[in-house]
Amino acid sequence: MRLAFDEVTAVLDGREIVRRLSLEVPSGQVVGLVGPNGSGKSTAVRCVYRALRPTTGTIWLGRTDLASMSRKDSARSVAALTQHNGLDLDFTVEEVVALGRAPHHTGNQRLGARERALCHTAMERLDVAHLATRGVLSLSGGERQRVLIARALAQEPQVLVLDEPTNHLDIRHQAGLLVLLRDLGLTVLVVLHDLNLAAATCDRLGVLSEGRLVASGTPHEVLTEALVREVFGTTVTIVHHRGVPQLLHSLPERGSLR
């Protein structure tokens, strides 16, 4: 299912945080949203998981205007990993993952055998099955993050929206997660700070700067030394590894700030 921002503007506190954003995530593709701190990435994705309503513009889910859908219907299609995960209660890992099934249930339905198997598969994919009976409050930051991604997968969404999912993850789990996102076959919009991981994983990238989309295309098209200098204000050298652009920092000589 395709996801598309169509001229989306989001105003907060009287300030345009996202400005006329048009960006498409084609069905089954992974699109990375990158940009400096405060450029509006989280605000844009909050509009997709409906924590925020665009001030103007439309978000399309397939051919349907997201704003016209009931919250339950959109929750069946869109799963989100947000920066504020709300894991405040000491549920067990398996209980948290089972919450991913909530949009598919009415009332206090119990999970069926297929759903239990689905939750178990999601926990295995995220390497948290061995933690199933642990309380989530006792987990490390990275373990918690993986539990939340397992919950999102248990939801069986068609569209997955993730805001900095590699936070807290060690490099093995970062790489594992991004390979998983690539191979799930879902429509994925992912906010990433690590441009090297973004280039290696995403089919396309959108670059936000001060709320505006300033570049979009394949990583190869988008990630140039000039763009990184202009948007992020830093100097890098770009090399190609297996055909993928990768950034090497060119830091000033030691002592240059003295």
Instruction: Output the smallest distance, CB 138 to ligand ATP, in A.
Output: 27
Nearest to 183 by CA among 76, 45, 29: 29
Work out which of 12, 67, 137, 251 binds ligand ATP, going by CB under 6 A: 12
Identify which range of 30-38, 91-99, 142-150, 216-224 contacts ligand ATP by CB under 6 A: 30-38
Tokens 């920092």 belong to which residue? Answer: 249
Does residue 14 interact with ligand ATP by CB under 6 A?
no
188, 180 contact by CB (below 8 A):
no
CA distance 42 to 105: 28
33, 41 contact by CB (below 8 A):
yes
Does residue 34 interact with ligand ATP by CB under 6 A?
no
SS3 (DSSP) at 146: helix
Instruction: Output the smallest distance, CB 172 to ligand ATP, in A.
Output: 24
Work out which of 23, 25, 34, 40 binds ligand ATP, going by CB under 6 A: 40
Identify which range of 40-48, 66-74, 121-129, 154-162 contacts ligand ATP by CB under 6 A: 40-48
CB proximity list for 96: less than 8 A, separation 6 or greater: 87, 136, 147, 148, 151
Does residue 166 interact with ligand ATP by CB under 6 A?
no
Contacts with ligand ATP by CB under 6 A lie at 12-13, 17, 35, 37-43
